[in-house]
């Protein structure tokens, strides 16, 4: 028998040990919290796919309990347990096989290169993954680069002159690394104590007044306003709003140079540099997000119920989900009948032939769909709808394409 989530979904994973809910915000330590959606069991690592269905179904799960801080407008998983997460070369979250995403990354690399005159300078990429972004920004700018990540694999892609990778975390063990630009993309949301993490970066022996930091995280307001509900995953402790991201950077001792949203408003970015001494952070929030939180709680339940009904009518065995990243993994685990979907489709060849944690859903490449009688293709990210529709036409598929 599957495990029921708080929203009525079914997961086919072992029951996690009970988690003690955190009672204070990881950004401002505020205790005036509003609790929202929760799940009894979700995969602790969406991006660690499995070699066989049996091990995928038995993947570790954890309790997810979304909390909103009324003091700094930050969201976080109050049930997160840091010791349950580990990042190894099996962790695969590269999006650089999508033309849409590659264009975004290249535009970002050009902008940072121009703004900070990176030619001949040193770029350090913290949490570099498989190294795709660092290679691109160094190729575009003529900068040198050092990437740090325990999930890095040396056999991935072509080498770029002046770029090296270290299979480790960036810290005081590398005092002679003195970066001009520090990139830290989609890392901060994974940190149980984001302020301590940022303070560690700010106080690194090689970091000085010349060092500029580019921080990028998922945008919690996109999740709330545009119902990007499939972005809620265990390994993301934090869900930053523009206010809570700025508050975190200032509390850690940074001066904010620029900030905004990108990638269809799905990401937040902030550019900053260390200050000689931290400044006091005055909490003066907009006061409008709490209403969105309350609406989100209701709408989330309704959206999950709608997809349950859709799959019941359409036959999940003749349905595929396009996107085997965190959104797709969440969908097949949370939506009732989702585990019966025939496959997750992904253009990343390193995911193909593997299985989704929790549901055990196989991951296939687009070519696997050719000639198959499919009723529906569910696209997990609206930014990829045109890209998926183009691929479907090339494969001769007449399936309904619907965005989740």
Residue 3 confidence (pLDDT)? 26
Instruction: Over range 301-314, report the average pLDDT.
Output: 93
Q: What is the pLDDT of residues 173-220, one digit of tens each?
A: 999 999 999 999 999 999 999 999 999 999 999 998 889 999 999 999
Instruction: Over range 94-98, report the average pLDDT.
Output: 69
Instruction: Over range 278-286, report the average pLDDT.
Output: 59
Give the mean pLDDT of the chain.
88
Residue 211 confidence (pLDDT)? 96
Pick the more confident residue, 382 or 5: 382
Q: Which of 25-29, 153-157, 159-163 is least confident? A: 153-157
Measured in degrees and rounded to the nearest 5, phi and psi for residue 278 equal: -60, 150
12 — pLDDT class (breaks 50, 70, 90) = very low
5 — pLDDT class (breaks 50, 70, 90) = very low
Sequence-distant (≥ 6) Cβ neighbours of residue 393 within 8 angstroms: none
49 — pLDDT class (breaks 50, 70, 90) = confident
First to last CA, the chain: 27
SS3 content of the chain, % helix, strand, coil (to 5): 30, 25, 45
> Facing residues of 342 across strands?
none
Residue 99 confidence (pLDDT)? 85
18 CB neighbour count, 10 Å cutoff: 9
Does residue 393 carry a pLDDT above 60?
yes
Burial class of residue 207, CB neighbours in 10 A (0-12, 13-18, 19+): buried
Residue pair 94/348 in contact (Cβ under 8 Å)? The answer is yes
């Amino acid at each position: 028998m599957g495990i029921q989530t708080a929203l009525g979904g079914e997961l086919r994973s072992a029951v996690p040990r009970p988690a003690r809910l955190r009672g204070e915000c990881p950004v401002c330590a505020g205790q005036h919290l509003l609790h929202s959606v929760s799940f009894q069991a979700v995969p602790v690592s969406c991006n660690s796919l499995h070699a066989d269905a049996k091990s995928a179904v038995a993947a570790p799960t954890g309790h997810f309990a979304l909390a909103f801080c009324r003091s700094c407008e930050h969201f976080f998983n109050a049930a997160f347990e840091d010791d349950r997460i580990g990042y190894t070369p099996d962790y695969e979250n590269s999006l650089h096989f999508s033309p849409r995403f590659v264009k975004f990354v290249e535009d970002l690399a050009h902008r940072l290169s121009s703004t900070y005159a990176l030619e001949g300078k040193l770029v350090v990429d913290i949490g570099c993954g498989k190294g795709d972004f660092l290679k691109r920004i160094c190729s575009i700018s003529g900068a040198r680069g050092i990437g740090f990540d325990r999930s890095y694999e040396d056999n991935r892609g072509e080498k770029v002159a002046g770029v090296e990778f270290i299979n480790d975390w960036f810290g005081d063990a590398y005092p002679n690394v003195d970066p001009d630009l520090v990139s830290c993309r989609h890392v901060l949301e994974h940190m149980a104590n984001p302020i301590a993490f940022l303070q560690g970066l700010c106080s690194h022996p090689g970091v000085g007044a010349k060092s500029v930091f580019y921080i990028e995280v998922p945008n919690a307001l996109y999740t709330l306003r545009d119902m990007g509900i499939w972005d809620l995953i265990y390994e993301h402790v934090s869900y930053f709003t523009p206010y809570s991201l700025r508050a975190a950077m200032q509390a850690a001792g940074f001066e904010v140079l620029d900030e905004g949203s990108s990638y269809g408003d799905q990401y937040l970015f902030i550019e900053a540099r260390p200050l000689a001494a931290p400044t006091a952070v005055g909490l003066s929030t907009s006061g409008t997000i709490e209403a969105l939180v309350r609406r989100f709680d209701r709408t989330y339940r309704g959206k999950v119920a709608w997809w349950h009904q859709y799959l019941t009518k359409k036959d999940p065995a003749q349905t595929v989900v396009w996107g085997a990243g965190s959104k797709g993994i969440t969908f097949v685990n949370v939506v009732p009948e989702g585990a019966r979907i025939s496959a997750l489709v992904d253009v990343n060849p390193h995911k193909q032939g593997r299985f989704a944690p929790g549901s055990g859903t196989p991951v296939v490449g687009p070519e696997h769909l050719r000639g198959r009688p499919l009723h529906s293709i569910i696209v997990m990210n609206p930014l990829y709808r045109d890209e998926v529709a183009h691929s479907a036409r090339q494969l001769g598929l007449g399936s309904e394409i619907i965005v989740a």
